[in-house]
Structure 1
Amino acid sequence: MPFVTIDGQALHYIDQGTGPAVLLAGSYLWDQTMWAPQIAALSQQYRVIAMELWGHGQSGPLPVCTTSLDDIARQALVLLDHLDIERVTLVGLSVGGMWGARLALSAAHRLNGLVLMDTYVGAEPEPTRQYYFSLLKQIEEAGVITPALLDIVVPIFFRPGIDPQSPLYQNFRTTLAALPTDRLRQSIVPMGRITFGREDFMARLCELDGASTLVMCGDQDTPRPPAEAREMAELIGCPWLLVPEAGHISNLENPGFVTAELLKFLASRN
């Protein structure tokens, strides 16, 4: 399994396929398996890199010096340098889009294109920020994501009508329930605070290149509703798409639609 040491810790990533490079940047609480449908399809024509957040999947603990989304963007550039990748199309979902937009502005010369999915680069609205911080505090104190907390956290990621007995839903719940105490306290909770305590980045969206950017959002995304996607797309001056029958992890709830749109976008940028 490929790893690279960054800021003293081992970052895990997938590197599959050949061709123009695509970097998949995923959601908080999910590992690289969330991209399985896209990795399988895109790697037929592209070199697909999927990096795992600190404390997620097989990546090591959150480095002590990591205190902001800008740090994550910087670390992603270290990964690209390690892989000798000069230019990449970045597809960032949720927190992946939050730090992906920062990377796009700090290193615009490294990007062929940018897809922002189910994400929002503005500050977290204060009521939801306080609510998420209270959940993180409960997880930190318990040292486990309790069944009661799972009942709250898991549905956030899916469309309201999803079958809670479906493998997608149940596998995610099982994965969260199995997270060990040290990982939760050292990496998951701090990463959550970085994510939901982020600074407002909306004023800089106009600096992005609208011609090489696409915004996508599940039509039933609850934590990052379509209104936020539209707001960002208008500021960037780029197209935006709603993913039918999908919530926050839209690429897994409607993988066929998302993969087809990504392939169209990649063809236009490479």
Structure 2
Amino acid sequence: MPLKSFTITLIRHGETEENSLGIIQGQSDTKLNATGIQQAQLLAATFPIEEYSIAYSSDLSRAYDTCRVILSDSPQAKSGASLKDIRTDVRLRERSFGPLEGQSLDALIKLAKEHNTSVVNFVPEGGESPEDIRRRVRNFVETRLLEEAQKESTDDRALKILLVSHGGAIRELINYFVSFGHHSFKAQKEKTRIIPPNTSVNDFLVHYDLQTFAASPVKTVECLRLHDVSHLPESFQKQALSQKQVNDHYKGPAV
């Protein structure tokens, strides 16, 4: 049987006050600030939401509200021809940092150094490890996402899925897709390691087979677009791309 496929667009939520101040948010339910709302509105103005059949979001407000703005403020929504239902899933939440949530990024860096480990791999008591978040986003893809994609797919229309989540969760989703090794990722290798900028757009073409008995039903993935913030004015682009990187393996700017 031929492989089934769909295009998925991963979008990081807009800016929050904590985000702008370098405060660890994790699974705290922080809200979009005025800049974050404006970023989402600017994306909505050119986003072809009429092409999408499914919208997923983390249940945390900053992601859900970004998704809601994209759906409600698109030109198609104003004419009544837009996707309205948002499906939430707790597996799309940001990585938990336990008691460090609400503290500065510098506090995390300091503790990691004291424990003689990397910032990425340091796990605060009660928080999640990189493997924890990696496992749950993969579980989301290989169970709910693929099963619902198969139900929604038709022969006359290419299925497109919108997913709004958080920087760490999206980075793990991107790395999961990278693991399937399609050549289209080679030119983007360094970019796959960074935390996506606020309201950045990432597109992937996913080929899968739910009848397989292999380790994963995903077979190949093509990278179509990565960390695109062209919908933002130049000043916003610089702001979105200048965030600190909690990543020991990438030392360059988030571009």
How does the TM-score come out when normalised to structure 1? 0.30
Using CA pairs under 8 Å that are at least 6 residues apart, name the structure with larger relative contact order, 1 or 2. 2
Normalized per residue, the structure richer in helix is 1
